[in-house]
Each structure stands twice: as structure tokens, then as C-alpha cells.
Amino acid sequence: EDQVTQSPEALRLQEGESSSLNCSYTVSGLRGLFWYRQDPGKGPEFLFTLYSAGEEKEKERLKATLTKKESFLHITAPKPEDSATYLCAVQAGNYGQNFVFGPGTRLSVLP
């Protein structure tokens, strides 16, 4: 059974304090790993897609990396507006959207 876990469950950072979020997965036939950001009461907002081990993508203060068993979302010098829940999802199997989501990491960045 495809599984996705995320750690830590919650993370509090001071503004400017860099850190990393972890996403570990067990899937058969990974087609893609996705990172989303979700603000309270809103739908997830797409951040990155990673397809193969060794791949990296960056967007502003965020950088996502992928290995064969896990992905990291690195946050450099975060700002309070980066506070949100970060969700990791995998697409596996042969077809279909069918994301399997992790439970998320709730990030709070304090000014």
C-alpha cells in the first residue's frame, strides 16, 4: 500500500531561521512527488513537482529535493507569510491523478 509520512508534524521558526521539512514515501512505481502549500480554510496551492531522484527545484525561499525514499522542502530565511501547512503528495501506479497525501507539516514563522 502506498504511504506518505511527513515530519515534523509542526514546526515553529523565528523569521530568518532556515530549516527543512521531510516527506518519506513508500510507493510502487513513483510517477511524481508534489509539494503543496495550504492556508487555513483554503485549497492546497501547487508548489513543485519532482520526478526522479536527484532532481531539485527552487521558488523564492523554497527548494525541494528528491531521493529514492524521501523528499525535503528547504526553507531559507523564512518570513511570517511562509506560515502554512505544507503537504507532500505522491502519484503512483500506471495512470490517473490519484494523489496519496501525507498528513502535512504545520509551519509557523514568528516575526
Partner 1 sequence: KAGVTQTPRYLIKTRGQQVTLSCSPISGHRSVSWYQQTPGQGLQFLFEYFSETQRNKGNFPGRFSGRQFSNSRSEMNVSTLELGDSALYLCASSEKQGMNTEAFFGQGTRLTVV
d(CA 53, CA 32): 10
Smallest separation, CB 40 to partner 1 (Å) = 11
Residue with cell 527552487: 58
Closer CB to partner 1, 1 or 111, in the complex: 1
Phi-psi region of 23 (alpha: psi -120 to 50; beta: other; left: phi over 0): beta
Smallest separation, CB 3 to partner 1 (Å) = 12
Smallest separation, CB 15 to partner 1 (Å) = 28
Residue with cell 525514499: 69
Residues that bind partner 1 (CB under 8 A): 31-32, 34, 36, 41-46, 49, 51, 87, 89, 91, 94-104
Task: Sort strands 105-110 and 84-92 into parallel, antiparallel or unpaired.
Answer: antiparallel
Smallest separation, CB 38 to partner 1 (Å) = 8
Main-chain dihedrals φ then ψ at residue 24, nearest 5 degrees = -110, 140
Closer CB to partner 1, 42 or 68, in the complex: 42
Closer CB to partner 1, 14 or 97, in the complex: 97
